[in-house]
Amino acid sequence: MVTINKNFASVFKQIHDNAKKNFKTLLFRVGEGLVTETDLGFIDSISPYGKRWKSLKPETIKARRKGPNPGSDRILVDSGRMQSSVNHVEKTFFRKVLTIGSNDNEDKVLTHIFGNTAKNVPARPFLPNSNVLPKTWESILLEEFDWWTNEVFP
């Protein structure tokens, strides 16, 4: 028979309480890291997987008429709306979930992430577009999980 003394039980309770208290913070920190990584993708015109986005056609650059840089060759940043639409939400009602996405027009977002051959728009993913987690995102998760475990097991 295994007996757990009261001191050992109190350690488990402390670990449980620390884990519970810090888990929402973990989700927030991961979300912030992923949004920052997505912002860097917009700045460098690369997907979360490190693949450079296809350049704009010269006629597209010429036709641009809005935003701070008319005629700019910067991809997906003509107005900045798409980039600023990327956000994260932590939900902890019934289960703990982190959602990262864009609150911009859904058709527009999906067109840019996956491309649209009918509209002759190449894929320029700014969020992951496969079941494979990008290496940079994996690094953020691991770094923040290390932080969390150090908070839970001081």
Mean predicted lDDT score pLDDT of the chain: 82
- End-to-end Cα, the chain, rounded Å: 30
**Cβ atoms 127, 114 nearer than 8 A:** no
Kindly tell me the sign of the dihedral angle through the C-alpha atoms of 55, 60, 66, 68: positive
| Residue 152 backbone phi and psi in degrees, to 5 | -75, -40
User: Which amino acid would we find at residue 114?
Assistant: F
Token reading at 23? 């888990």
| Across 65-84, average pLDDT | 74
| Site of tokens 């939900």 | 91
Question: CA-CA distance, 118 to 101, in Å (whole number)?
Answer: 24
CA-CA-CA-CA torsion sign (118, 122, 126, 127): positive
Q: pLDDT tens for residues 117-143?
A: 999 999 999 999 888 889 999 999 999
Mean pLDDT, residues 39-56: 93
% of the chain at pLDDT higher than 70: 81
pLDDT at 96 over 80: no
Residue 103 has pLDDT above 80, yes or no: yes
What pLDDT band is residue 1 in, cutting at 50, 70 and 90?
Answer: very low
Q: How many CA atoms lie within 13 A of 5 on its CB side?
A: 1
Contacts for 26 with CB less than 8 Å, ≥ 6 apart = 144, 145, 147, 148
Interatomic CA distance for residues 46 and 38, integer angstroms: 9
Highest mean pLDDT among 41-45, 57-61, 102-106: 41-45
